[in-house]
Structure 1
Amino acid sequence: MSSPWLRSRDYFVQYALIGSDVDGSHINLASLVDPRRGIPTAASRIHGISEEDVRGAGSFETHVSAISELIEDAVIVGHNISNFDWRFLELECMRAGVETPIPRAIVDTYSLARKLRIPGRRTLGVLCARYDISIGRAHSADADAGASLLLLWSMMHSHPAEFRGDIDDLQDMLSNRGGSSSRLGPGMQDLEPVAGTNGRLRLSDDGVVIAFGKHKGRTLSELEKLDSRYVDWLLSPSSPIPSKIVSEFVRNQRE
């Protein structure tokens, strides 16, 4: 889900809901919205939508039924959606005199990037560039919505250990109800320790898992992509794990 706005006094000018339904069918609902008031020049410079563009597109009241039908009991994904898009949706629903739809869950890729400690700036553009995702028309609702979905898929692919649980576990992690991402899937103590490491390395279905320090919960294969210097440290004499053990696992996964 995505929609381009600037301030709390702004109104919808565009929205997009892109994804798939429970039966696997594609969802692609996108439209301009006539806010029935002038669109600030500063806003137009960002999202590229003018007053002429939205003329005849219908007010939010004419779109809210279709929007609510798709959002109700669905898993909604968006970038910074919790602090931005969702609050505007609530405001628009209040103005229209209708109840805000209740989704099954909200997955905010901005919050997720923070939880996963992905380094650098966490704007949608920067994160998409990190994962080689092309946004195309940045700040347009449909492009941003599609990019957010691809970003979530990319983060799940690069951090599989954090996505072992179900959607409720993920919600707990993002809302801080579960404390940390270690709640997802089997607990660290449930994983078999690697002999000779004092439990600092453990075995999971995804590979060898780090069970201590700042990268606790990550696999060695993830670390080689995300923080190769940390792997070098694990292979060094200063590592708390015998370098021979680490070296064997690293060599095996590279073969």
Structure 2
Amino acid sequence: MAGEIFDGFRVVGFDLETTGFDVRKERIVEYALIGSDVDGSDINLQSLVYPEKRIPFEASNVHGIKDQDVRDSGNFSEHIGEISKIINDSIVVGHNIIKFDWKMLEMECFRAGVETPKPRAIIDTLVIARKLKIPGRHKLGILCNKYGIDLSNAHRADADAGATLILLWKIMKENPRFFRGTIDDLQDSLAGVRRENLLGPGLEDLEPVPQSRGLLRINNTEIIIAFGKHKGRSLDEINRNDPRYLNWLFSPSSPIERTVCEKYKHLFQG
């Protein structure tokens, strides 16, 4: 399963609410780290933060946090210790985390004179959505709506962090091929270091389905198509996203032997 890429790691969704968007000038007013530890136990660290400046009306209008809400919450220096304990050696997941949340965290650490936490990996669901060319706009709210994820409390850190984790899981289930490699393979692919089709075993490494002339390959419990526009995708994935193509694949017009078609066709009927 695609989720195995994260086995053995602490995985947390991360989100910030701030006084604005300029990472050089603005400050954190709320953070959340939501996820699970290596042993499966829940992680839920969230808090308001005193930003040491006024919260502009425009920002409060987005996340609902006002000056009086954060007055006694402690400044960033009082929170970074707990934040670092969770982030260090974790896989940290966020939406637009690379260009915003992480840069904001780095600037706050710089101001506080402390070292930025060191995660095992940073996974950005915005980058993944763009990499996979998921149809439509890629704002968190739009993607959550597309995948049926409740985000009724949008623009609060805990809601956005939790929703981002669920979004990643749903994208992984829909696109297992993209997540077959290691966490390092995934990071390299998102950074453009490797091509997507180098993640995990190559098609030539997979055992051919008998009598398929190599057009179908076996990858654990999945059957992978090795030609055409869906090359590298599993039959299950094609059935979910392009069932008309699967109908053609099992039709008399298919280049796959009829005996092989009949063997697998019944799995996707009814």
Alignment TM-score, normalising by the size of structure 1: 0.89
SS of the residue aligned with 2:239?
A: helix
Alignment of 1:63 onto 2:76: no
Deviations 1:180-232 (A, max 9, x none): 2x222221111123466553432222422122344332112111212334435
CA–CA distance in structure 2, aligned partners of residues 213 and 99 of structure 1: 49
The answer for the alignment partner of 1:7 in structure 2 is 21
RMSD: 2.3
CA apart distance, 1:246: 5.0
Are the structure 2 counterparts of residues 67 and 104 from structure 1 closer, same or farther at C-alpha, using a change threshold of 3 Å?
same
- Opposite residue 137 of structure 1, the aligned amino acid is N
Are the structure 2 counterparts of residues 94 and 178 from structure 1 closer, same or farther at C-alpha, using a change threshold of 3 Å?
same
| 1:193 maps to which of 191, 204, 208 | 208
Alignment of 1:113 onto 2:129: yes
- Opposite residue 4 of structure 1, the aligned amino acid is E
Contact 1:161–1:206 (8 Å) recurs in 2: no
Contact 2:37–2:43 (8 Å) recurs in 1: yes
CA–CA distance in structure 1, aligned partners of residues 266 and 142 of structure 2: 32
Which residues of structure 1 form unaligned runs of 5+? none
Alignment of 1:173 onto 2:189: yes
1:228-247 map, 5 Å: 228-232=243-247, 234=249, 241-242=255-256, 244=258
1:29-48 map, 5 Å: 29-48=45-64
Are the structure 2 counterparts of residues 205 and 123 from structure 1 closer, same or farther at C-alpha, using a change threshold of 3 Å?
same
CA–CA distance in structure 2, aligned partners of residues 134 and 88 of structure 1: 26
Contact 2:239–2:268 (8 Å) recurs in 1: no
Are the structure 2 counterparts of residues 199 and 114 from structure 1 closer, same or farther at C-alpha, using a change threshold of 3 Å?
farther
How many correspondences in the alignment?
Answer: 253
1:20-169 map, 5 Å: 20-169=36-185
CA–CA distance in structure 1, aligned partners of residues 51 and 143 of structure 2: 31
- Opposite residue 143 of structure 1, the aligned amino acid is A
> 62-71 or 137-146: which moved more?
62-71
> 230-239 or 95-104: which moved more?
230-239
CA apart distance, 1:158: 2.1
Are the structure 2 counterparts of residues 95 and 238 from structure 1 closer, same or farther at C-alpha, using a change threshold of 3 Å?
farther
Which residues of structure 2 form unaligned runs of 5+? 1-13
- Opposite residue 183 of structure 2, the aligned amino acid is I
SS of the residue aligned with 1:31?
A: strand
Contact 2:208–2:216 (8 Å) recurs in 1: yes
SS of the residue aligned with 1:39?
A: coil
Q: Percent identity?
A: 52
CA–CA distance in structure 2, aligned partners of residues 59 and 74 of structure 1: 24
Contact 2:211–2:257 (8 Å) recurs in 1: no
Contact 2:215–2:256 (8 Å) recurs in 1: no
Alignment TM-score, normalising by the size of structure 2: 0.84
